[in-house]
Amino acid sequence: MKLIRRLSTTAALAIAATGGVAASFGAPALAQPGDASARGVVVDLSAAVAGVPVINADVVIGTAVAPAGGGTDTDTALAITIPGALGVTASGTVVEVTATRGPTASSASAEIADLALAVLGTPVIDADVITAAVNCPQVGAQTADTTFTGLELFGEPVELLPNTPGVTASIPVTVAGLTGARLTATLTNVETVTPDGAVAIAVVATLRLTGTTVGGTLLDIPVGTVILAEARCERPLGPSPTASPTQPTPSPTQPTAAPTVGPTQPPTVSPRPILPVTGGNASGLWWLLGTGTAMVVAGVGARLIARRSRTSMEA
């Protein structure tokens, strides 16, 4: 179908409403560290005209919640059907939804294949493959990633950029009791990380129905949302620090006592060497002194006599 009119007046209203929906998906709803969950397809649509229901579908296909005690929860190969729906049909497969809680990381992912969603007989969303994955390590950055293959809105290829207003389009539909009825859809993509968690939602589709009643009243009816491939996780807590064993406080070191010393002994004085003394006693010493003196006196007297005799002879 090529009857897409982007950003019409009603589409602008849809953007405003979608912005609120996208914001509500932007922050992790999980509250406990280590939590992780994933969902495949979530459909919540309803609308009535003049009190008569024309759209009604409420289903969740594929859910995984990480076990509280650790481990992995997985659901695979689930057919996309909406039993009892009014004005809504869907087909395809939820290939896998999985959520893991581990001691050092939590993670979750969802994958959908061959999706076809129609509302009021009109194809709205088609895709070959849609995926979402998150990883929340205990240490390091949280990650959120989404991928699309063959994504179409109202039969036209579209490309979604994370955390933007997305893509809006509308198409005429047939609704009993309305003239000029149009179905408007806005597709957005969410990839959000915080210091403690991550959220990835591949597609959030917000639908609105507009038209004029027989009495001329303009109706603008919020139809609801469709979520395709959602994954959430929270960072696990780090290990509690292990208290080191208390070491006994060493008693203060006492000063080492100086060795006991006995009373100081006077130094031993070596005796002076005894010089030998000549002679037996003092009287001998005085005798020698007198003899020497007499000899000196005799010598001097003899010398004077000799000098006088020489003088007499010369005269």
Q: How confident is the model at residue 208 (pLDDT cuts 50, 70, 90)?
A: very high
**pLDDT given for residue 144 in this prediction:** 98
Cα separation of 16 and 119, whole Å?
Answer: 22
Per-residue pLDDT reduced to its tens digit, 118-165? 999 999 999 999 999 999 999 999 999 999 999 999 999 999 999 999
Tell me how many degrees the CA angle 276-295-305 measures, rounded to the nearest 5: 165
Q: Which of 87-96, 192-201, 246-255 has the lowest mean pLDDT?
A: 246-255
Per-domain residue ranges for the chain?
9-234
Neighbours of 211 (CB within 10 A): 21
CA 97 centroid distance within chain: 26
At 292, list the tokens.
């020497």
Q: What's the mean pLDDT in 103-115?
A: 97
Sheet holding 197-213, edge to edge: 52-65, 36-49, 218-234, 197-213, 178-193, 167-172
Please name which of 229, 138, 235 lies closest in space to residue 193, comparing C-alpha atoms: 235
At 14, list the tokens.
């849809």
Find residue 190's DSSP bridge partners.
201
Between 103 and 240, where is the model more confident?
Answer: 103
The pTM of the full predicted model, rounded to 2 decimals, is: 0.69
Q: What's the mean pLDDT in 61-84?
A: 97
Contact status, residue 95 vs residue 113, Cβ threshold 8 Å: yes
Q: How confident is the model at residue 113 (pLDDT cuts 50, 70, 90)?
A: very high
For the residues of 244-289, what is the DSSP string, one character each?
A: PPPPPPPPPPPPPPPPP-PPPPPPPPPPPPPPP-SSSSHHHHHHHH
- Write the DSSP symbol of residue 240: P
Report which secondary-structure segment, H or E, holds 43: strand 36-49
Please name which of 166, 215, 173 lies closest in space to residue 14, comparing C-alpha atoms: 166
At 168, list the tokens.
């809006």
CA 153 centroid distance within chain: 38
**pLDDT given for residue 62 in this prediction:** 98
Pairing of strands 152-153, 143-149: unpaired
Residue 106 has pLDDT above 90, yes or no: yes
Through-space distance between the first and last CA atoms of the chain, rounded to whole angstroms:
189
Measured CA distances, 27 to 114, 175, 193, 221, 236 (Å): 29, 36, 8, 27, 17
Contact status, residue 162 vs residue 178, Cβ threshold 8 Å: no
Q: How high does pLDDT run on average in the chain?
A: 79
Per-residue pLDDT reduced to its tens digit, 298-312? 554 555 545 555 544
